[in-house]
Structure 1
Amino acid sequence: MATRAEILNTLTQWLSPDEFKDYCPNGLQVEGAEQVSRIVSGVTASRALIDAAIEAGADMILVHHGYFWKGEDQAIRGMKRARIQRLLEHDINLVAYHLPLDDHPQYGNNRQLAKVLNILDPRPLDGLVWEGELDTPLTPSEFEERIAGALNRPPLYVGSGPEKISRVGWCTGAAQGFIDKALEAGLDAYISGEISEPTTHTARECGIHYYAAGHHATERYGVQALGRALEEVFGVEHRFIDCDNPV
């Protein structure tokens, strides 16, 4: 068991959230129990995750996508009210880290996705975009199969490029707009979570293999790594709950 303050102080030391200009508050978003013995992690603080965490007896929920995003209605009503009410009724802390978790060199979504896909020498390329090399050159269809097998869902593939893929760039989540950074670096392929209409034409006309592997699917791994680290340091129980999302 650990105190909420001890866990939050450690997360601040690890993730340095103040260094990021983000779209939401990072850290504690809803205050719950002071003592924490069980943490549930998940991608998004949805009602489904909250209900599952209550069933699991969690004192803290750790997510990548929390609440209070810039531009959204700030009123606590409707869906947001129902979610927050459940957290308060059961005295559960909601802790969220967005860009700090994407970018972290050890626990981050980009670093963890490279581990899942067996991409070697993963390293930052430009901003939030990372690059690395495949352990063996693969055809576009072979790489598509690897992604599908690792993430348990087929990616949406578009584009064109070299017959074999060796150098890969990626950024988890809604990062399709960063495809230009992969092109500038001369990479063979680019992976993100989502795709947009212009991205298709860019990939086809500029000669790069593009894989939209799912926003949720590409961002399942950072919170798991972070939860496991907290479990190791504090001796708290950690459980990842995957509330599937096809997007």
Structure 2
Amino acid sequence: MRLSEVCEFLDGYLKIELYQDVSNNGLQVEGRDEVRKVAFAVDACMETFRAAKKSGADMLVVHHGLIWGGIDSLRGVMKRRVSYLLENEISLYAVHLPLDAHREVGNNAVLLRKIGAEPESEFGEYRGVKIGYSAELSDATTPSNIAARFPSAMLLPFGKERVRRVAVVSGRGGFAIKEAIECGIELFITGEAEHEVYHIAKEGGVNVIFLGHYESERYGVESLMNVVGEKLKVETAFIDVPTNL
């Protein structure tokens, strides 16, 4: 399959043109024209690039790309990263907010399904768009039961002992804690354990689960990988490079 065909599918499926993002979503580094295998990962970094090459991938799709608004210079770490991709003819495609917000394969929608809920209302306004979702569990459960499904979860038990109304904003989603309180959310799930969330959640009486930034954003990448493999009939591979953060 041609690189342009893969990019055209991703651009359209993820609707990248709808988002004002700090990330330059789409093809960031152009490699070889023929794509036989596509690797998927959370972060664009040398460890991921080397693993992509070892797997035989012609293209790498990531959530966190290399270019955020522009490139100030090509030296040091940036030079080494770009040089490696170009020397090995590996294309780099990045998709940030569009993957957070996607109702089918997005980080937040997939996280809700992992705890037994279907995404309902859009939630978590960022740069003028909602990138997360809220939902209602079919049966009330304890926040600790939900936290137990994720190995890295950290729970702030500041709300009801049993919850049904939940909301998810992956990654650095602490900005939505006030919205969670205002909307009557009983359990808010996000990635990074941001310090300022603690007292707001405690005073607002809402439970919070921090999954870790990486852990909260691997599931959307994996779901997108499955769609690409099925729709485009290309070989795929997930590259797991956890940061434990």
Q: TM (normalized to structure 2)? A: 0.93
Q: CA deviation at 1:223?
A: 1.7
Whether the 8 Å CA contact 1:68–1:74 is kept in 2: the answer is no
Q: CA deviation at 1:106?
A: 0.9
1:138 to 138, 141, 145: 141
**In the aligned structure 2, how far is the partner of 1:135 from the partner of 1:245?**
33
Q: CA deviation at 1:10?
A: 1.0
In the alignment, structure 1 segments of 5+ residues that lack a partner are none
Give the partner amino acid of 1:133. Answer: E
Give the partner amino acid of 1:211. Answer: I
Q: CA deviation at 1:230?
A: 1.5
Whether the 8 Å CA contact 2:142–2:162 is kept in 1: the answer is yes
Aligned length in residues: 240
CA RMSD of aligned residues (A): 1.5
Q: Where does residue 189 of structure 2 map in the other structure?
A: 191
Q: Deviation digits for residues 136-158 of structure 1, max 9, x if unmatched?
A: 32223222213x2xxxx231222
1:234 to 226, 232, 235: 232
**In the aligned structure 2, how far is the partner of 1:88 from the partner of 1:56?**
17
Aligned runs of 1:201-216 on 2, under 5 Å? 201-216=199-214
Whether the 8 Å CA contact 1:168–1:190 is kept in 2: the answer is yes
Q: Where does residue 156 of structure 1 map in the other structure?
A: 154
**In the aligned structure 1, how far is the partner of 2:47 from the partner of 2:56?**
14
**In the aligned structure 1, how far is the partner of 2:209 from the partner of 2:32?**
41
**In the aligned structure 2, how far is the partner of 1:160 from the partner of 1:32?**
49
In the alignment, structure 2 segments of 5+ residues that lack a partner are 125-129
1:93 to 86, 91, 94: 91
Q: CA deviation at 1:183?
A: 0.9
Whether the 8 Å CA contact 1:32–1:93 is kept in 2: the answer is yes
Partner SS, residue 152 of structure 2: coil
Q: Deviation digits for residues 8-30 of structure 1, max 9, x if unmatched?
A: 11111111111110002110000
Give the partner amino acid of 1:23. Answer: V
Partner SS, residue 36 of structure 1: coil
Give the partner amino acid of 1:47. Answer: M
Answering whether residue 179 of structure 2 is matched by residue 181 of structure 1, we say: yes
Whether the 8 Å CA contact 1:172–1:193 is kept in 2: the answer is yes
Partner SS, residue 161 of structure 1: coil
Q: CA deviation at 1:246?
A: 0.8
Q: Where does residue 10 of structure 1 map in the other structure?
A: 9
Aligned runs of 1:209-224 on 2, under 5 Å? 209-224=207-222
Q: CA deviation at 1:121?
A: 4.5
Aligned runs of 1:105-120 on 2, under 5 Å? 105-120=103-118
Q: Deviation digits for residues 4-55 of structure 1, max 9, x if unmatched?
A: 1111111111111111100021100000010101000000011111000010
Q: Where does residue 57 of structure 1 map in the other structure?
A: 56
**In the aligned structure 2, how far is the partner of 1:193 from the partner of 1:24?**
18
Q: Deviation digits for residues 162-196 of structure 1, max 9, x if unmatched?
A: 12011101101001111111111101010100122
**In the aligned structure 1, how far is the partner of 2:83 from the partner of 2:116?**
41
Give the partner amino acid of 2:43. Answer: T
**In the aligned structure 1, how far is the partner of 2:115 from the partner of 2:80?**
37
Percent identity, aligned pairs only, is 33
